[in-house]
Amino acid sequence: PGTLHVVATPIGNLGDLSPRALDTLKGVDAICAEDTRHTRQLLSHFGVERPLLALHQHNEEAQSEQLVARMLAGDQLALVSDAGTPLVSDPGFRLVAAARAAGVRVSPVPGACAAIAALSVAGIASDRFVFEGFLPAKGGARRERLSHLAAEARTLIFYESAHRIEESLADLGAAFGGERPAVLARELTKLFETVLDGTLASLGEQVAADANQRKGEFVLVVQGAGDDTDARLVEGRRLYQKLAGHLP
Ligand code: SAM
């Protein structure tokens, strides 16, 4: 049978596509991509001309069976997403699970991942961490999620987009306390890369004060709750958040 090669692509800087990723993409029968137009641009930059198949959250379930059948018949397929490592806040989980269930070899070609890149420069304890991906878009659901994370002792990593970064920092400050240390990594590996450090409150202020700091893509790394984080304080905040939704 063939193999499913799970290939990481750059998160901004094209120099981060590894030589092995390039060789793999050149050698497969087809490349499954989240957005074929986006991936075609990347591949044409590197002179790769392989057939592209769309695999996104809306068709992944339906496509997986067919793709697995191709690999069982001997095809080599690659899986990429728009940026970074597939399956990390990106499609691919269902295809990988289906391939493994069918006994198809699944092999990684590792590379860029925004969460790990941010953690590697944050200077916040990195021996134990939790990746939370994107917070819920709706305010109520987001605050509910945060109330459950306020006492988490491990370092927390969040993804955020430009249009919600201010709201999320405000909600994080309310749930965890504004004094909690955090690092905001923006546009990593790109021209306007910035890594701001401070507290949830001071990061909120910096982002509010400078419109440029609200542009682009963000990873937020938040220190875990320490022994000094009073459990009663956390519980108090959680209750307050819950009640605040019901107050006029
Ligand atoms: N699979 C990707 C990875 O391995 O990081 C993540 C895909 S997710 C749909 C996109 C989010 O990742 C963005 O909203 C942002 O939070 C984060 N991200 C991606 N590229 C980034 C970059 N260059 N700088 C900061 N954050 C980035």
Q: What is the pLDDT along the chain (248 residues), one digit of tens a residue?
A: 899 999 999 999 999 999 999 999 999 999 999 999 999 999 999 999 999 999 998 999 999 999 999 999 999 999 999 999 999 999 999 999 999 999 999 999 999 999 999 999 999 999 999 999 999 999 999 999 999 999 999 999 999 999 999 999 999 999 999 999 999 999 999 999 999 999 999 999 999 999 999 999 999 999 999 866 556 666 676 777 778 777 76
Model pLDDT, residue 197: 97
Strand-by-strand arrangement of the 155-161 sheet:
129-134, 155-161, 217-222, 181-186, 194-199
Model pLDDT, residue 241: 72
**Ligand 1 pocket, CB under 6 A:** 11-12, 81, 83-85, 88-90, 113-115, 159-161, 185-190, 217-219
CA 58 to chain centroid, in Å, comes to 19
192 Cα: distance to centroid of ligand 1 (angstroms): 15
Structure pTM? 0.92
87 Cα: distance to centroid of ligand 1 (angstroms): 12
Model pLDDT, residue 164: 95
Considering only CA atoms, which residue is closest to atom 2 of ligand 1? 84
**From the alpha carbon of 86, which atom of ligand 1 is closest?**
1
9 Cα: distance to centroid of ligand 1 (angstroms): 11
In 67-180, which ranges are E strands?
77-80, 105-109, 129-134, 155-161
191 Cα: distance to centroid of ligand 1 (angstroms): 15
What CA–CA distance (Å, rounded) separates 129 from 119? Answer: 9
137 Cα: distance to centroid of ligand 1 (angstroms): 16
Cα–Cα distance list, 63 to 22, 53, 99 (Å): 25, 10, 12
With both helix axes pointing from N to C terminus, report the angle between 93-101 and 60-72 in degrees, rounded to the nearest 10.
40
Model pLDDT, residue 80: 98
Model pLDDT, residue 231: 60
* Check: complex ipTM more than 0.90: yes
